[in-house]
Structure 1
Amino acid sequence: MAPTRIILDTDLSMGAGADVDDGFALALAHADPDIQLELITTVNGNTDVESATILTGVLLNRLGIKDTPLVKGSATPIIHPDQTHKIADHVLALKDSARPPNPGYAPVAIAEHILANPGQITVVAIGPLTNIALALLLEPRIKSAIKELVIMGGIFFGTMYSRAKPGEFNVFSDPEAARTVLRSGIPQRWVGLDCTYKVRLTMDDAKALQKSSSGFAVFAGDATIKYINYQVDRFPGRPKTDSIPMHDPLAVAVVSKPGICEYRDMAVSVITGDGEARGVLIADRLETKSPPIPNCKVAVDVNAEAFRSHFLTLIQKL
C-alpha cells in the first residue's frame, strides 16, 4: 500500500529544554516508511510560535529534511490575541542555524494542500487546534476533502493534576478551536492522555539510545535523560520518575499502525471560556437508549509494547 500522506501541525519545543515528544513525533513521521510527510506547520502552544518554528527548523536540519515545506502558523489562541509570548534569547540565538520557514500562513497552507489533494491528506495535530480551526473557517470545503484528522489531545476517563489547568494542555490552550473542530463534521480520531500516559520512554531506553550508531538516536537519548531529570523539579509533589510519556509520537504511530490503539465512537463537546472548567471535554460513550450522534473516535486502550517496539526500531534508523 502507498504511504499515508500527512500534514504535521506542531508546537515543537525540543531543543529548548522543554518537552521532547513533539520532536520525537516529527522524527517518527520522517522515519516511518508508511508515512509521507508533505507539510509541517507550527502553532503557539508549548512555546511561542516563533520559537516553535525556529526549533522545528533546527530539528529539520538535524534530520536532513530539506524539501518538506515548513510554514509558521497561529501566534495566539483564537479569542485571546492578548496571550502573546516573547521568544527566549537562547532560542533566538539558534535562528541562523535553523532552516527558515516557507512564506505564507499555516491555516492557508493546510487548507490549500487538502483541497489540492482531495481524499488523500491526513492531518496529525499534536498542538493546540488553532491552525486547524482557522483553516476550517477560511475554507469549509476541507471538511469533505480531508481524509482524516488525528489529534493528540484530551482526557476522557480521568481528570488533570491541577485546578489551574483543568483541561488537557492542547485543548486547554485553545478550547474554542477544539470546539470548532468537534463541531465541524471532519472525520477525527482523538488520542488522549488515557492512552499516551501508558506509552513511556524510560531512563534505560534513553541510555540505550545514547549507545546507538544513529546520530539522532544519541541526541534523542541525551534529550530524554535531561527531560526525565527535569520532571523532578517540575513536579515536586509527584513520586520521582524514571520515564516520560510519549504523547505526540503515539498520535503519529497510529497513522500507519492504527491497531496500536483500540477506539470507541463518542459524542464529545468541550467547555470553553475562562471559567474553572476551561478545556474540559465532556464525552458521551453512547451507552444510553437514545444516545447522541457520535462526532469522533476516541482511543480507549493502547498496546504499549507494540508502540515501544515501533518507535525505538524506527528512531534508531535515523
Structure 2
Amino acid sequence: MRVILDTDMGMGVPGTEIDDGFALALIAADDEFELDMVTTVNGNIDVESGTYLSRELLQRLGREEVPVFRGASAPLAEPERGRVAPGAIRERFGHHRPNPGYAAAEIARCVVESPGEITIIAIGPLTNIAAAINLDERVASSVKEIVIMGGAFQQHTNLLHMPGEFNFWVDAVAARAVMRSGAPLRLVGLDATLKVRLTREHAAAMSASGRSFGAFAGESTTAWIDAMAAKMPGDPAHADSCAMHDPLAVAAVSHPELLEWAPACVDVIASDEAGRGIAVADLLMHADSPAPNAHIAVDVDVDGFMTYFLNRISNY
C-alpha cells in the first residue's frame, strides 16, 4: 500500500505530543505499507520543528531514504495564526534538512502521477491537503483515499476555547475545503481515538523490550503522560494513559476491520469563532438526507488495535 503521511510531528522532545511519531513508527513497522514521503504542517508544533523531528525519527527508525517535504507554516487563510520560530529545537535538530520542494506541490505531483494508487494519511491540520487539491483539481479524483485523523462526530470537545477537535480547529477553512472536495474520505475522530490508550504499563513494557526504539518509545510515552497529567488535572483519564489518535488512523488503512464505519455527510464550521472546527455529521437517517461524502469511524475494537499496535512497535 503506497501512502503519504502528512504530520505535525512532535515526538522527540520530552513532554511533547507522541502519537504522530507512533503513527510514523507503525507505518515503518508494518510491511504492508510503502511510504512514499512524509510531509509536515504547522499544528502541534511549528512546521520547521516538525520537519526536523520527522527527519530525526526516520533516522531513528532506519528509514532515512524516505523524503520529507516541508509544508504550510500557518492555516490556509490565516497567516497571522502561524507559530513562533523553533529556537532550541533548531539548535538541536537543525541538521535534519527537508528535501527541496513544497509539501502541497509534492503531494499533488505524486497523487496525479499515480492515479488510484496513493492513500494520504493526514494526521495534522489539513492545510497541505487542501492546498494540494487547490493546486491541481485532479488530486481529488486521483487519490485512492484520504484517511484523516480529525473531527468529533457524535460528541463535543467540551472546551470553549477549542470547540472543534484540534486538527480541524487549527485550520477550519482547510478542513471544510477537504470535506467539500469530492475526494474519497475516511474520518477517524475522537469518537474512536479516545478509546485507544497507551498506559504507563505499556510504556514500561516497551522500555523493557530490548529494542532501541522500544526504549525511546517508552521514555517518550512516560514523559507525555506526565505532561498531560499536569496540564489536565481535572481529567482522571490523563493520569496514567494517553490516547493513540494518529496510530489509529494508520490502522484504519492496514486493518479497517478494527473500526466500525458509518456513511455520513460531513461539513465543518469555519466562519464562527465560537464554533470553529466543529464537524457537523449528517448520519443519513432521513429519506431526504444529503448524499454521503465520507465514512466516519463510530467505534473501534480496542483490544484488537492495541494488540496490533504493541506487537508492531515493541518488536521493531
Asked whether the two chains share a fold, i.e. TM above 0.5, the reply is yes
Residue 138 in structure 1 maps to residue 135 in structure 2: yes
- CA–CA separation in structure 2 for the residues paired with 1:224 and 1:33: 24
Q: Give 2:279's match in structure 1, choosing from 258, 278, 281.
A: 281
Q: Amino acid of the residue matched to residue 296 of structure 1?
A: A
Aligned amino acid, residue 62 of structure 1? R
So what's the TM-score if we normalise by structure 1? 0.97
Residue from 231, 234, 251 that aligns with 2:231:
234
- SS at structure 2 position matched to 1:82: helix
**Any unmatched runs of 5+ in structure 1?**
none
* Alignment partner of 1:103 out of 100, 105, 108: 100
Percent identity (aligned): 46
2:151 to 146, 151, 154: 154
SS at match of 2:2: strand
Given the alignment of the two structures, is residue 261 of structure 1 paired with residue 259 of structure 2, yes or no?
A: yes
The answer to whether the 8 A contact 1:270-1:282 is kept is yes
Q: Distance in 1 between matches of 2:313 and 2:255?
A: 16
Letter in 2 for 1:316: S
Query: SS where residue 81 of structure 2 aligns?
Result: coil
The corresponding residue for 1:304 is 302
TM-score, normalised to structure 2, is 0.97
In structure 1, distance between residues paired with 2:16 and 2:193 = 18
**Correspondence for 2:83 among 82, 85, 92:** 85
RMSD over equivalenced CA pairs, Å: 1.0
The partner residue of 1:53 within 51, 54, 58 is 51
Give the distance between the partners of 1:84 and 1:63, measured in 2 at CA. 29
- What is the correspondence of 1:1-318 to structure 2 with a 5 Å cutoff? 4-16=1-13, 17-98=15-96, 100-239=97-236, 241-318=239-316
Q: For structure 2, which runs of at least 5 residues remain unmatched after alignment?
A: none
- Cα deviation for residue 85 of structure 1 reads 1.5
Q: Say if 1:58 and 1:94, in contact at 8 Å, map to a contact too.
A: no
Alignment-mate amino acid for residue 242 of structure 2: I
Shift of 1:96: 4.2
Query: 2: CA distance between counterparts of 1:257 and 1:75?
Result: 32
Which AA in structure 2 matches 1:36? Answer: E
Q: Distance in 1 between matches of 2:142 and 2:156?
A: 34
How far did 1:231 drift?
Answer: 1.3
In 1: Cα distance, 2:174 partner to 2:181 partner: 11
Runs (4+) off by over 3 Å: none
In 1, the alpha carbon distance for the partners of 2:278 and 2:228 equals: 24
Tell me the matched-pair count: 314
C-alpha distance in 1 between matches for 2:179 and 2:186: 10
Q: Distance in 1 between matches of 2:210 and 2:35?
A: 24
Q: Quick check: 1:54–1:94 contact (8 Å CA) kept in 2?
A: no
The Cα of 1:314 is off from its aligned counterpart by 0.7
CA distance in 2, matches of 1:21, 1:63: 15
Quick one: distance in 2 between partners of 1:170 and 1:232? 21
Q: Which amino acid aligns with 2:154?
A: F
Task: Assess if the C-alpha contact under 8 Å between 2:58 and 2:66 holds in 1.
Answer: no
Aligned-residue offset at 1:278: 0.6
Letter in 1 for 2:35: L
CA–CA distance in structure 1, aligned partners of residues 95 and 182 of structure 2: 41
What's the offset of the Cα at 1:273?
2.2
1:143 and 1:119 map into 2 onto residues whose CA distance is 10
